[in-house]
Amino acid sequence: MAYFKDEQEVYEFIGKLFQDLVDDDELAPKFQKANTIVQYQYRNPESQITVKMLEDEDGQVDLGPTDLDPEVIMTMEADTAHRFWLGKVNVTVALARGQMKAKGPVAKILKLVPLVKPVFPRYREQLEAAGRTDLVEAA
Amino acid sequence: MEAGGEALAGPPMSGYKDFWQFAAPTRVVAGRDLIGGTGFEFAKEGAKRLLIVTDEVIHGTGLIDRVRSGVEDGGLEVVGVYDDVPPDSDSAVVARTAAAAHEHGADSFLAVGGGSVMDTAKAANVVFTHGGDTRDWEGFFGLPREDDGLGRPHELAPLACIPTTCGTGSEVSFAAVIKDAEAHVKYIVGDFPMYPRLAILDPEATRTLPPHIAAATGMDAMTHAIEGYVSSEWNPHADAYALQALRLIRENLRPAVESPEDETARGNMLVAANLAIQPTSANAIGIAHSMSHPCGAHYDVPHGVANAINLPWVIEFNAAGGEPIANRYRDLNELLGLEVGGRGEQVGHALAEHVRGLVSGLGLPTRLSEVGVPEDGIPILVEGAMGDGCTLVNPREPSEEDFAELYRRAL
């Protein structure tokens, strides 16, 4: 059974994490150096998060439909995304196994992977603060 | 050990791993006097009407005439020869190659050349089969598949390769590196159907290879073997290929460069390059490549030359990253007859000095400043290296400052 019961839960937790990141004074400038727009397309439940990280522009996170034109599209199960943000997915392995699929200039995203490691505890804390330790324990 | 530990605490460098994947589906035919049997072999892969993809230099050596004769002797038809592939092929070249295949009514590709020619043919095969622009297919495992993208990938047209250099191993790899001339970046298209169906390794095809290119491409092969063995994505299958490649390089690289008439050395270097690339099928590679890719994209430094310069500095950086990593280098040092004892720094230094001596002895440049890389270019090189896919699978995680320091040392 999937970790998230519907797309709203995906947006409530993973979506909120992205929103916090683009508003973070320390991390946002680093992510903006990627200078791209990434769309994460999730399955089970079907959901979509689009993140604008452009140099010299404010970040933007669209949950669901968007007018942004993504340069990179990452496709995966929402479960994989959840496990990734808990620090339990090796991106290289996930790409090799096809658990994550990347379309577009993937290098722009790979560059961010080392930067997101400090975010893993933040995601866990966010779930715990929302009383969703079940999501932490299930992964 | 759970994958989570791996993601957070660094990769295991020994033992039994949680996961690895290895594929080597290309049929390899190696030996002597095989060019004349090209058609006989390629017919077994379903080819009937093929487009030869090559470059003007190779075309001018007369090799293509012998290949064409070999194809026709096997009952196949050469419907065209596309010989306009430059050293650093780009999206436009790929598009023209695919268009030529359509115009001539080809049903298959035969690449005769070095890495650029073979990668062009691979990428052109994708465009020929699935349409679009090469950059539409950028990324890994993104080609069309059955079952809503989750099943078996659709096949491409048959592709055979006859490498004329001993370095890239592209004849048995599933990826193509193509330049975006406008954006000044190199990008990768990679998926299982892109493995060539056939590779023909015949030293006759490398007979006219100039010594300095034999040296540079040979160092590329050596870099594949060393980085493949110490990568975080090491695995026992890849290890077997990397170590045997390194043995062959140990015995044959110098003779192949210094005595071009030595057909045995050239043949063994073809095989070494072919073996050395195999770890990359499991993503086993490292940051010497991360550093070299932007050197090529921004300053046109030949890939093998950039690897030859960057590799020793990366070895020293990695080997100082802890005993588990140093132990991987100890294996390599033992194979090469070098010091295996002492701290990681000493092990790394011994191997790095061996590589530096080899590079110098082969007559290759040993500094990036000798090949047109300026000191003020370091920031843009660092940016490229940080975003390179090879960085993620290096055994020691580098920071931006680490890359800047590595470039300064290599300068």
**Tens digit of pLDDT per residue, chain B (411 long)?**
233 334 445 678 999 988 888 999 999 999 999 999 999 999 999 999 999 999 999 999 999 999 999 999 999 999 999 999 998 889 999 999 999 999 999 999 999 999 999 999 999 999 999 999 998 898 888 899 998 777 899 999 999 999 999 999 999 999 999 988 887 777 889 999 999 999 999 999 999 999 999 999 999 999 999 999 999 999 999 999 999 999 999 999 999 999 999 999 999 999 999 999 999 888 889 999 999 999 988 899 999 999 999 999 999 999 999 999 999 999 999 999 999 999 999 999 999 999 999 999 999 999 999 999 999 999 999 988 988 888 989 999 999 999 999 999 999
Sign of torsion over alpha carbons A91, A97, A100, A105: positive
- CB–CB of B283 and A92 under 8 A? yes
Coil, strand or helix: which one is B109?
A: strand
Residue of A nearest to B180 (CA): A105
Distance CA B307, CA B23 (A): 25
What residues of chain B have any CB closer than 8 angstroms to a CB in chain A?
A: 2-4, 6-8, 11, 18-19, 21, 138-142, 149-150, 185, 187-188, 232-233, 282-283, 383, 386-389, 391-393, 397, 399
Residues sharing a CB contact under 8 Å with residue B265, sequence separation 6 or more, in sequence order? B252, B253, B255, B256, B259
Q: Measure in Å the smallest separation between the Cα of B150 and chain A Cα atoms.
A: 8
Instruction: Inform me whether the C-beta atom of residue A53 falls under 8 Å from chain B C-beta atoms.
Output: no
Alpha helices (runs of H) in B10-83, residue ranges in sequence order = 38-43, 56-60, 63-73
Contacts with A111 from chain B: Cβ below 8 Å: 386-387, 391
Between B8, B138, B393, which is nearest A92 by CB? B393
Spell out where B122-180 has E strands: 139-140, 159-163, 175-180
What is the helix (H) or strand (E) element at residue B201, kind and residue range? strand B198-201
- DSSP class of B398: P
- CB–CB of B2 and A88 under 8 A? yes
Q: What angle do CA B126, B131, B133 make, to 5 degrees?
A: 80
Distance CA B122, CA B53 (A): 10
Coil, strand or helix: which one is A127?
A: helix
- CB–CB of A86 and B4 under 8 A? yes
Contacts with B234 from chain A: Cβ below 8 Å: none
Residue B318 in tokens? 């990695």
Residue B215 in tokens? 């040296």
Q: What angle do CA B138, B142, B145 make, to 5 degrees?
A: 150
Coil, strand or helix: which one is B367?
A: coil
Q: Helix, strand, coil shares of chain B as percentages rounded to 5?
A: 55, 10, 30
- DSSP class of A26: T
- CB–CB of B8 and A90 under 8 A? no
Instruction: Inform me whether the C-beta atom of residue A105 falls under 8 Å from chain B C-beta atoms.
Output: yes
- CB–CB of B4 and A95 under 8 A? no
Q: Are B287 and B398 in contact (CB under 8 A)?
A: yes
- CB–CB of B7 and A106 under 8 A? no
Residues sharing a CB contact under 8 Å with residue A28, sequence separation 6 or more, in sequence order? A21, A22, A59
Residue of A nearest to B396 (CA): A114
Please state the ipTM of this predicted complex: 0.73
Distance CA B301, CA B367 (A): 11
Sign of torsion over alpha carbons B215, B219, B221, B222: positive
Residue A73 in tokens? 């599209």
- CB–CB of A96 and B21 under 8 A? yes
Q: Are B186 and B296 in contact (CB under 8 A)?
A: yes
Between B6, B21, B138, which is nearest A105 by CB? B138
- CB–CB of A93 and B19 under 8 A? yes
- CB–CB of B7 and A88 under 8 A? yes
Sign of torsion over alpha carbons B130, B132, B136, B138: positive
Q: What does residue B129 show for φ and ψ, rounded to 5 degrees? A: -85, -45
Q: What angle do CA B160, B278, B255 make, to 5 degrees?
A: 85
Q: Examine residue A45 and say whether the peptide bond preceding it is cis (omega within 30 degrees of 0).
A: yes
Question: Which pTM does this prediction carry?
Answer: 0.89
Distance CA B72, CA A48 (A): 53
Q: Which of B1, B141, B234 is the mutation pick for testing A, counting most A CBs within 10 A?
A: B141
Contacts with A85 from chain B: Cβ below 8 Å: none
